[in-house]
Chains A and B, each alone.
Chain A
Amino acid sequence: MCPSVAGLPTYFVMWGVACLVCGPLGAWLGVRAGFPAGKSFVAFLGFAGLILLGAKLLYVAEVLLFPLDDYVPYKYRGPLHGFRIPGGVLLLAILGPFVSRGLGLPWKRFGDVVIVAAPLALVGIRLGCFLNGCCFGKPSQVPWAISFPKGSLALAYQLERGILPAGSSWSVPVHPLQLYFVFAALVTTVVLVLVGRSHVVPDGALQFGFYALFFSSTAALEPLRANYVTLNNLVVPIAAVLSASIAASMFFTGRNTELPVGGHGRLS
């Protein structure tokens, strides 16, 4: 059970909201910085597609390599089941520059200008996780721990493992891990806005700074997840180290070039 809007699971409704808000925002940021409107919008569609595709690919890899990591039984898995957000961000980091270059956009400068929309999109997506009831945390006694109702994944997970007696209608309070992810994305957004406005980081460093912050915050929060997702815990720390290394190398070897004529720079 999860809330739905017009028959659509709220998980995907929130993906849609994230796209509807952040797509135009990213395109607007691109235009504001002096990049062509059409290319900026197409690039952003490409970025959104990469996040969706990467999230699905990581889940498919997980099912193939670590089939026991997904606690949801096969019979409850619909065709839309299974996304791992770090896979989406990883694919964006790897292929995003090629999308930009394919459209004739300078990937470092363009990426730095629009990257602030990515953590904002993650806020919407993770709120979708919360409404869907997936990605819940371990049982906890912190004052802000949350119980999930009958029909939720958290309750079914705890009943199956004997954490609760049969017939219970509310789960044991758990860490609202989805909201921790939202908080991390919000903090990352603020950091990117503040640093982006100052125009002091070399080209490309802002976007790889985002990747480093995303993967490191995810690595720090994953241990709070109720179930251990092996592939997440293998991929995320490695991606954090790689993206932080690339960002650092850009600081020492990169340069801060001028934006196109008439551009207003990063979010300022």
Chain B
Amino acid sequence: MKRSVVFLAGIICATLVGVSISVLNTVAQVGDFRPVRVSGTWALGSEEGTLS
């Protein structure tokens, strides 16, 4: 029984930590967003493209 409680607590903690990190990363990403013009093959294989 104790092991099942630890498992459940572990699942909840892991989810809280993982989701928090992901949300913070997304917020930071949105804050950094600025379209830039780039040239070369790494922009969708075209001469120019817009990357964030």
Contacts and interface: CB of A to CB of B under 8 A. Distances in A.
Interface stretch (A1-9, A92-100, A110-118, A217-225): A217-225
Interface in A2-52: none
B39 to A, nearest CB: 10
Given A68-B51, A212-B15, A157 B42 contact: yes
Interface residues of A, number: 39
B23 to A, nearest CB: 7
A157 B17 CA distance: 30
A213 B10 CA distance: 9
A142 B7 CA distance: 31
Interface residues of B, number: 31
Give the one of B11, B21, B41 with max A CB within 10 A. Answer: B11
Contacts of A209: 7-8, 11
Contacts of A217: 14, 18
Nearest to B3: A198
Contact of A198 (B4, B38, B52): B4
Contacts, number: 102
A215 interface: yes
Contact of B52 (A68, A194, A201, A237): A68
Contacts of B11: 209, 212-213, 216, 244, 247-248
Interface string A185-211: 000000100110010110001000100
Interface stretch (A71-79, A123-131, A260-268): A71-79
Interface of B: 1, 3-4, 7-8, 10-12, 14-15, 17-19, 21-26, 29, 38, 40-45, 49-52
Given A200-B1, A216-B18, A220-B21, 7 more contacts: A75-B45, A160-B41, A198-B4, A200-B4, A205-B4, A220-B18, A233-B29
29 contacts: A68-B43, A75-B45, A157-B42, A160-B41, A160-B42, A195-B3, A198-B4, A201-B4, A205-B4, A209-B7, A209-B8, A209-B11, A212-B14, A215-B18, A216-B14, A216-B15, A219-B18, A219-B22, A220-B21, A222-B25, A223-B21, A223-B22, A233-B22, A233-B25, A237-B22, A240-B18, A241-B15, A244-B11, A248-B11
Interface of A: 67-68, 71, 73-76, 156-157, 160-161, 191, 194-195, 198, 200-201, 205, 209, 212-213, 215-220, 222-223, 228, 233, 236-237, 240-241, 244, 247-248, 251
